[in-house]
Chain A
Amino acid sequence: MQYEKKVRIGDGSGCAEDRIDAAVEMIERANLDYMCFDSLSENELSALTIMKLKNPEAKGYDIQLEDRMGQVLPAALEHKVKVIGNMGSTNPVAAMEYVSGLAIKLGYKGIKVAAVTGDNVRDYLLNSRDIYTVEGHLPVHEFGDKLVAANAYISSSPIVEALKNGANVVLTGRVGDSGLFLAPLRYEFGWAENDWDNLARGIVVGHQLECSGQLTGGYYADPPFKVVENIHRIGFPFADVYDNGDIFFSKTEGTGGLVSVDCCKEQIIYEVHDPSNYIHAEVIADISGVNFEQVAKDVVKLTGVVKGKPAPEKLKVALGVRNGYFATSQIWYGGPGARGRAEETRKMLYARFDYLGYKPDVLSISLLGINAMFGDAPGVPKNTDPWEVGVRMAARGQNPKELLDMVRETSKHVNTSSMAGGSCAQSMPAVREVVEYYSVLIPRDAINAKITYMGV
């Protein structure tokens, strides 16, 4: 194989509470150049914002950052692996300060940590008058104080700049997930901002890696058709990207899991809608022509055609909007006739809530083991009679006291005042706040990304 340069990028997490040992093991053994961490789900920014509203002392960065970086940073600095992650969440600068302090404690010098900010467009949206949600066409400025989070999926350009300026660690808030992985490729290979085909290939690398174990046998195993060995210590994935255009996916040697063509096919379609127009801040990728080829055990080559089209004019913003509370509770029945007792309890609860005058916004009481996952959709077997059936109450409403009372009615009160042998399956409280997701599109120039550095 003819090439002059190869870059190896690993993925250290696919969500905020992902395994840490798999990331550390890869840094120590896989000879990486970069490790990128995606740990910011749609809900994460809202949850952290509410935490901050309730406790002004809260840091605002990823709840796992201290634990994760405590284990990852020593290995990354020792093995000279650069770290990029969106675990700065709502406060990348505080995250940068924490990680810089950690580097000092570990005795390192000459380390540069960068924080990328500017994704928070809440003020911009509240001052707007003509921006409407994609879902339901609601005017965004009318959300007012209920709008707790508004973060744009900004491009990877600020990360590229931070790398050019010598950063060893780059911490961001909301950036396109794949962009975290595209950034080091743009920096290493010098891809221009209009090198659409290469940018699209970089997006494919990011898309495949960003969900950690989902490329290496996780979210995949389904015996006896799909068997995955040693899934308890599945290896996280990495990609080798060459300057001749070759791209390979693999994982840490000696770990559990597998990297196969079938794993790669499942992940490439995951969360993609129209494959000819897969929209990112940097490029619109056409990935409909991809294919994969197994070239060695746990090594898959990207084949087929990936094309890029000019970047979209607008950027997507994920919103979190407060709207009341959610509660859930369960009670279980077992043995012969369990389904019958569960069904009677379900009827009893509807009657009881009606009798008490409860008026949640929405209420659903379903039977776990019978119809709680797929309802009565055509493919669901009817008239089954399992030995274990749960009754699950779920409700949303504006009155948390009423919801808590409904939880009590579905747990403790059922014990004493309904069918025989009911066992409540959870402890209270089971009421939490609802932060609804919406998205909007905004012009690119509404973003003022900023990079802050801290040298150690």
Chain B
Amino acid sequence: MLREIAHSRAGDKGNISNVSVIPYERKYYEIIKEQVTAEVVKDYFKGICLGEVTRYEWDAMGGLNFVMEEALDGGNTRSLRVDGYGKSLSAYMLSMYIDIPE
């Protein structure tokens, strides 16, 4: 599970959520970068994120930022969700499984 090798934080701007994936150790950065693509994240967030997913790469420090459009049910001021800000989407992101080569 991603949670064992990486951490994450979710932020909101209107109806857009941005969720980071930051490996604890540099050696996992390339592995995560290869497997956790924008397409993979869009599929994993099916039903939560209704719009486009864009991935931004922070190569210098080793971190990925997924910007998810239409991911907050209209944004906190309109949302009927328990978590209108999408604060918990970081935990959901980290529930994803990836393959770690031996």
Measured CB to CB, the residues of A under 8 A from B are 42-43, 135, 219-220, 222, 225-226, 262, 265-275, 288-292, 304-305, 320, 326, 328, 362-364, 366, 368, 372-379, 392, 394-396, 434-439
Total A-B Cβ pairs within 8 A? 135
Flag B84-96 by CB within 8 Å of A: 1 or 0 each.
0001100010011
Return the 4 tightest CB-CB contacts between A and B, nearest first.
A271-B11, A394-B80, A269-B20, A266-B9
B67–A273 contact, CB under 8 A? yes
B77–A377 contact, CB under 8 A? no
Flag B61-95 by CB within 8 Å of A: 1 or 0 each.
11101010000001111101111000110001001
Nearest CB of A to B24, in Å? 7
Measured CB to CB, the residues of B under 8 A from A are 3-4, 7-9, 11-16, 18, 20, 22, 24, 43-48, 54, 56-63, 65, 67, 74-78, 80-83, 87-88, 92, 95-96
Nearest CB of A to B84, in Å? 10
Q: A269-B20, A272-B18 are in contact. List 13 more A-B contacts (CB 8 A).
A: A42-B76, A225-B3, A266-B22, A270-B18, A274-B56, A275-B65, A288-B59, A290-B61, A364-B80, A373-B82, A379-B92, A394-B81, A434-B77
Q: Classify the interface of chain B: helix, strand, loop or mixed.
A: loop
B82–A225 contact, CB under 8 A? no
Contacts of A304 in B (CB 8 A): 60-61
Q: How far is the CA of A437 from the CA of B96 in the complex (A)?
A: 31
B61–A265 contact, CB under 8 A? yes
B88–A373 contact, CB under 8 A? yes
Contacts of B92 in A (CB 8 A): 373-374, 377, 379
**Given A273-B56, A375-B47, A375-B48, A395 contacting B61 (CB threshold 8 A):** no
B80–A269 contact, CB under 8 A? no
